[in-house]
Amino acid sequence: MRRRILVMVAAAALACMGLMLCGCNGSNNYQPPLKEATVAPPVIGEEGTLRVGVNTENPPLAGMGSGKIIGIDVDIAAAMADSLGLKVSIVDVGSDAAAAIAEGKVDVVMGIDAANAEADYWTSPSYLPTGIALFALSPDAGVPAPDSGATFAAQVSSKSAWAVSNEFGQDALTSTNSLSDAFAALQAGTVQYVAADAIIGLYAAHGQGLDVSVVAMLMKPSGYCMAVSAENADLQQAAGDALANLVSNGTIDVIERKWLGASVALDGLQVIGDGSALTDEGGDAAADDQAASDGTDESGSSEADGSGDSGSDSGNGDSGSDSSDDSSGDSDGDNSSEDEE
């Protein structure tokens, strides 16, 4: 009897081992269960696919890397499409979001600066804050007063440099050829602050392996929104809810940390000035800043952090970004335009 029990136990163990081996051998072919699509034509233009427009001239929101469109907005778009049970197709629409939506090239457009949004389309609440920020090496650096003698670095002829000159005087500003040089000056201690767009500044500093803090704003924070056709109320509701969920459940925070090394928190920061000087003749003449890459891979993170391309694949088992490189095939995904128009 005892021997019979031992034989039965051994047989059961072998059966379990066989099942485990089968599971291991078949793991490479595993596909996650398909989610049921929550929207379909005519709410979207293509069955089973959310077509998302981005501007590849605006890294790290979107840019070109290794022949494909990558960036914060690409990862967010993939996560949003997945939550809707759809694949995602990324389309470079340049800076003309209104035309892309009106002509039916895309269903939604990401990366719309709320401060420059047009009346031709509906925009979601902001999913990513931005604005001209002051960076310091320590969160305890304090907020500089106009007569404090504080020193600043900003990229030459940029809107950030113009804002520093307007608020603190030309003598307080060290103009640099690049945003990387500005952060190098901060690290060397030759200046106390760097002025730059909040998103692009964090991206540039992260690429240089520099831990910085945003201590104040040189203008009231704005934010990046999603645009949808003003006539498409169903998609406004569906995509807007999906995007809001990504904000509330922390998904966008994870994507921000992947690309920027930190999530972006601008609420509660002291605002120095109101940014109105940027709309006068000098402000309009100021060029956009650029942040050069310093050792970051195309995912926006150092290769050692293991973040890879998280968030860029659709949960429906396909690669998330079927990129359509319509206009910016020569754009370098490692260069960032600051203070987007």
Query: Which of 309, 296, 304, 302 is CA-nearest to residue 335?
Result: 296
Ramachandran angles phi, psi of 211, nearest 5°: -90, 110
Q: Is the pLDDT of residue 248 over 50?
A: yes
**Domain 132-218+263-300: assigned CATH number:** 3.40.190.10
Residue of 35 and 15 predicted with greater confidence? 35
- The CATH label, of 3.40.50.2300, 3.30.43.10, 3.40.30.10, 3.40.190.10, for the domain at 49-129+222-261+301-328 is 3.40.190.10
- At residue 269, the pLDDT reads 95
Confidence of residue 8 (pLDDT cuts 50, 70, 90): low
Quote the CA–CA distance of 145 and 168 in Å, as a whole number: 8
Percent of the chain predicted with pLDDT > 90: 67
Specify whether the CB–CB gap between 178 and 155 falls below 8 A.
yes
**Chain segment 33-70, per-residue pLDDT in tens:** 668 999 999 999 999 999 999 999 999 999 999 999 99
Quote the CA–CA distance of 135 and 84 in Å, as a whole number: 37
Amino acid identity at 186: L
Confidence of residue 116 (pLDDT cuts 50, 70, 90): confident
Q: What is the three-class DSSP state of 139?
A: coil
Do domains 49-129+222-261+301-328 and 132-218+263-300 share one topology? The answer is yes
pTM: 0.77
What residue spans define the domains of the chain?
49-129+222-261+301-328, 132-218+263-300
**Chain segment 287-334, per-residue pLDDT in tens:** 566 645 433 344 443 332 333 333 334 444 343 444 444 333 333 333
What does DSSP say about strands 121-123 and 222-229: parallel, antiparallel, or unpaired? antiparallel
